[in-house]
Every structure is written in C-alpha cells, then in structure tokens.
Amino acid sequence: MKRLFLVATLLAFSTAAHAATSADAQAALASAEKVEAQAAGFGNRWVPAEAALKAARDAIAKQNWDEALVQANTARALAQRAVEQSQEQETLWRDAIIR
C-alpha cells in the first residue's frame, strides 16, 4: 500500500512537472490555424476562436508555452465546431426556408 502511494505521488508530480515546450505550442497553434482556415472557407470564423488564436500567438510571443498550448487547443476545438456547424448547414438551411 505504501509503495502504491509512493508511485501515485511520483506520477502526479511527473505530470505536473511536464511543462509545454515551444514545439508543443507551435504545433498546437499550427493545428488550430489549419482548422480555422477551413472555417474561414465557409465564411464562418467564430469570434471566440479568433480571440483564442490571438491569445495563443501573444503567449508564444511571451514564451509562455503552457498558456499558448491551452489557448491553441481552445481555438482548435472552437474552430472544429464551426466547421462542423457549416458542414451541417450545407443541407439543413433549406429546412428553414419559408414555403
């Protein structure tokens, strides 16, 4: 039991100690920008996705990789939802037409 507790504690510390690197942040930003470009192709960039992208770029400029990673992942998730919304609307909009 003692050993198990020790392993769990070490694991928890090792996770917390794993800070994002510049490469992590840059890769996350590139991934988010790619999805956001897809959303832009539909003319449907979401305001909070753009705000998160900007925050990620600002954090990278300040070399705050953890913050950059969080913001880039947020931007990617929001942009992905925008793309899905646009894809759904490609056909669904017709249901709303007044007939």
Partner 1 sequence: MSLRNILLAVAALGLIGAGPEPQSGLAVAAADQKAFQAYFHDHFPKLPTADFGNGPYAVNAEMRKQWEEIMQFPPYDFALDEGKTEFETKFANGKSYADCFANGGIGVRQTYPRFDATTGEVVTLDLAINRCREANGEKPLAYQTGMMASITAYMAETSRDKPFDITIPDDPRAIAAYEAGKKYFYTRRGQLNFSCASCHVVAAGQRMRGDILAPAMGILAAFPIYRSDWGSMGTIDRRFTSCSSQMRSEPLKPQDSAYRNLEYFLSYMSNGVPITGPGTRP
Residues that bind partner 1 (CB under 8 A): 43-48, 50, 78, 82, 85-86, 89, 92-94, 96-99
Which one, 19 or 95, has the nearer CB to partner 1? 95
CA distances to 36, 44, 93 from 28, rounded to whole Å, are 12, 21, 32
Which one, 36 or 65, has the nearer CB to partner 1? 36
Which one, 10 or 58, has the nearer CB to partner 1? 58
Which one, 3 or 94, has the nearer CB to partner 1? 94
Q: How far is the CB of 40 from partner 1 (least distance, A)?
A: 8
- Give Cα 68 to chain centroid, integer Å: 10
Q: How far is the CB of 81 from partner 1 (least distance, A)?
A: 8
d(CA 52, CA 75): 5
Q: How far is the CB of 71 from partner 1 (least distance, A)?
A: 16
d(CA 21, CA 24): 5
Phi, psi of 21 (to 5 degrees): -105, 170
